[in-house]
Chain A
Amino acid sequence: MVSLSRPLARPLRRPAPKAVTIALSGLVLAVSVLSLTTGAAGLGAGDLVAAVLGDGLSPRDQVVLYDIRLPRLALGLAVGAALAVAGVLLQGLFRNPLADPGIVGVSAGAGLGAVLAIVLGGLLPLGLVGWAGPSLVAVAAGLGGWVTTLVLYRVATRGRRTDVALMLLAGIALAALAGAATGVLTYLADDRQLRDLTFWSLGSLAGATWTRLGAALPLIGAALLVAPRLARGLNALALGEPQAAHLGVDVQRLKRRAIWSAAAATGAAVAVAGGIGFVGVVVPHLLRQAEGPDHRALIPHAALLGAALLVLADLVSRTIVAPAELPIGILTALFGAPVFLWMLLRNGRGG
């Protein structure tokens, strides 16, 4: 047997997935407690303990905790998890770590869907609007994200491989197109719709209510349930579509489900929280650096880290310039854009 000895290239050290799960769960818990006990209303850690123990809170504190901070926390967790997992799915699909729902135009497409629902939703039969209610915007955003992802995939993926430059450029074009259409709709909107639009486009968790959460959660939940089942297929897809098929993956079905899930998660997140960028690219990137690209660990861990980071960003956004609030999208961009640029540089050098 031939054996060419060669000094061992540095073997990759990677932590056990279970340890990462535990650490991230702890992080989510810590950030959640911090978020619940921080705010202008002066409800602190002691009051939280009292609430958990069942000791009475004052009616005012109850409102602060259960109707303001808790829905905001829950929405932050859901949106963060959704954006991060949507990023992992898009990146697996495009075989490229730079695919982020915000950067490649999926968020813009979802935004167009949301604006369509806000402005033209009134044209629908009144019964339907009453029935779909706040979910209408989320579902429309999901559909917008889906159409954008499909077009993007058609344009950027030729045969075996995705062209990165083509993907990013197509994303810019699609975002511009969706932005233009959104502009036309804004022009058409009446005063009440304009107020809804402005409120929505600020991109914040400030308007969090249980109703909003209820509108987003079915779509986000469905995406988070489907995503882990795609993990093995996405791993195989890293070898390219033909090889994935030879490894037993039904590639067409995998792609369909990945696109649906990513669009649903992005759409729901955009519908309730506006355009929050870079979560979908930074979170998976940090995790791949730490524990490798195996989607079986990456998907659940991205959900946890995305949830924790978004709640943390929200916490900073509402305390740093208190009593005012910084839009959370500014914070994620401030942190995420440099990371993205750095990744782009490395990618260009074949890293």
Chain B
Amino acid sequence: MLDIVDLSVRLGRTPILHGLTLQAHAGQVLVICGANGAGKSTLLKAVLGEVAYHGTIRLNGQDLATARPDQLAARRAVLPQDTEVAFAFTLGDIVAMGREAGDLWSDPGIDALALAAVGLQGRDREDFRTLSGGERQRGHLARALAQVWSPVGPDGPRWLMLDEPVASLDLGHQLMIMRLARQFADAGGGVVAIMHDLNLSAMVADRMGFLIDGRLEALGPPAQAMRPEVLERAYGCHIALNAAPKAGPWLLPQSCRPFGR
């Protein structure tokens, strides 16, 4: 379990998060939505130990403040927003870095499976920096998947932390990535994702919550969380909500049916 208690973060003098309490459970996909600047990235950075915070964050019972980097790497993988890679590492090199971080003695065959999972099979010898933006994002996801290849590790569930995982992907690959997240959770792992696409979020999340001015609101199953008044407060504009019809045409195909459930 990812257990966040009374989390507060300031960046400089500006308070970003105010006493946020949140639990994410293994076997579930938790999606955090919210407007730009609402504190989504800051929340993720605190969970990843990239910013100083007040409060307590525990992952599988261990306090993050006292965990060693290698212990954490064996337990959770992170998909960043686009990250620049220095030097001409190949896609295969990058994925192997993830796998070895999760378990140095793991089977190198995992690399090919992880690449196939994101649709980059056979591309392992290409220079990572020559890939397109979407391919790089999927390459980083393959790296994260290889790092936590078994969703349940020797000391409990493993975790995928996804920072806007579909930001630069086309529709087909968006669905592919969300399906991978869903499968990871269904196999016993935990997924925490920052998302902008509400349709995708509603389709894949077990629970979702909205960050509004540094506070988490309306945390619950998508049908309960996505209420017009919540969306209006979160995004500052009126949003009409529709439920997808069970049959018949619909404009946005990704809102047609949830994955695997």
A249 vs B98: C-alpha distance when bound (angstroms): 12
Main secondary structure of the interface of A (DSSP, over half): loop
User: Does B127 sit within 8 A of A, measured CB to CB?
Assistant: yes
Query: Which of the residues A10, A251, A293 comes within 8 Å of B87, measured between beta carbons?
Result: A293
Contacting residues, chain B, for A232 (C-beta < 8 A)? 100
Q: Which residue of B lies closest to A10 (CB)?
A: B126
Q: Tell me whether B78 and A243 are in contact (CB under 8 A).
A: yes
Query: Which of the residues A11, A239, A247, A250 comes within 8 Å of B147, measured between beta carbons?
Result: A247
Q: Tell me whether A9 and B130 are in contact (CB under 8 A).
A: yes
A237 vs B69: C-alpha distance when bound (angstroms): 14
User: Does B223 sit within 8 A of A, measured CB to CB?
Assistant: no
User: Does B259 sit within 8 A of A, measured CB to CB?
Assistant: no
Q: Tell me whether A293 and B89 are in contact (CB under 8 A).
A: yes
User: Does B261 sit within 8 A of A, measured CB to CB?
Assistant: no
Chain B 66-98, CB-CB to A under 8 Å as 1, else 0, gives 001111111011101001111111100110011
Q: Tell me whether A96 and B98 are in contact (CB under 8 A).
A: no
User: Does A52 sit within 8 A of B, measured CB to CB?
Assistant: no
A45 vs B101: C-alpha distance when bound (angstroms): 51
Q: Which residue of A lies closest to B172 (CB)?
A: A2
Chain A 273-293, CB-CB to B under 8 Å as 1, else 0, gives 000000000000000100011
| Contacting residues of chain A (1-48) with chain B, CB-CB under 8 angstroms | 1-4, 8-13
Q: Tell me whether B84 and A236 are in contact (CB under 8 A).
A: no
Q: In this complex, which of B71, B73, B131 has the most chain A Cβ atoms within 10 angstroms of its Cβ? A: B73
Q: How far is the CB of B168 from chain A (nearest CB, A)?
A: 14
Contacting residues, chain A, for B97 (C-beta < 8 A)? 235-236, 239, 247
Total number of A residues with any Cβ neighbor in B under 8 Å: 34
User: Does A60 sit within 8 A of B, measured CB to CB?
Assistant: no
Give the interface size bracket for B toward A: 35 or more
A9 vs B132: C-alpha distance when bound (angstroms): 11
A236 vs B98: C-alpha distance when bound (angstroms): 9
Query: Which of the residues A161, A245, A247, A249 comes within 8 Å of B49, measured between beta carbons?
Result: A245
| Contacting residues of chain A (193-207) with chain B, CB-CB under 8 angstroms | none
Q: Tell me whether A246 and B176 are in contact (CB under 8 A).
A: no
User: Does B125 sit within 8 A of A, measured CB to CB?
Assistant: yes
Q: Which residue of B lies closest to A289 (CB)?
A: B88
Q: How far is the CB of B27 from chain A (nearest CB, A)?
A: 22
User: Does A163 sit within 8 A of B, measured CB to CB?
Assistant: no
User: Does A121 sit within 8 A of B, measured CB to CB?
Assistant: no
Q: How far is the CB of B150 from chain A (nearest CB, A)?
A: 16
User: Does A76 sit within 8 A of B, measured CB to CB?
Assistant: no
Q: Tell me whether A4 and B48 are in contact (CB under 8 A).
A: no
Q: Tell me whether A248 and B101 are in contact (CB under 8 A).
A: yes
Q: How far is the CB of A160 from chain B (nearest CB, A)?
A: 8
Contacting residues, chain B, for A101 (C-beta < 8 A)? none
Query: Which of the residues B50, B70, B86 comes within 8 Å of A242, measured between beta carbons?
Result: B50
Q: How far is the CB of A247 from chain B (nearest CB, A)?
A: 4
A258 vs B176: C-alpha distance when bound (angstroms): 40
Q: Tell me whether A239 and B85 are in contact (CB under 8 A).
A: yes
- Are A2 and B88 also in contact (CB < 8 A) when A12-B127, A240-B83, A245-B49 are? no
- Given known contacts A245-B69, A248-B74, what 20 new A-B pairs fall within 8 Å (CB)? A2-B172, A4-B119, A8-B122, A8-B123, A9-B131, A10-B126, A11-B125, A12-B88, A97-B87, A236-B97, A239-B94, A240-B84, A246-B78, A247-B73, A248-B69, A248-B71, A249-B69, A249-B70, A293-B87, A294-B89
A–B complex contacts, Cβ < 8 Å, 10 sampled: A2-B119, A2-B172, A12-B88, A13-B125, A236-B101, A239-B83, A239-B97, A245-B69, A249-B69, A294-B93
The chain B residues found within 8 Å of chain A, CB to CB, are 48-50, 68-74, 76-78, 80, 83-90, 93-94, 97-98, 100-101, 119, 122-123, 125-127, 130-131, 147, 172-173, 175-176
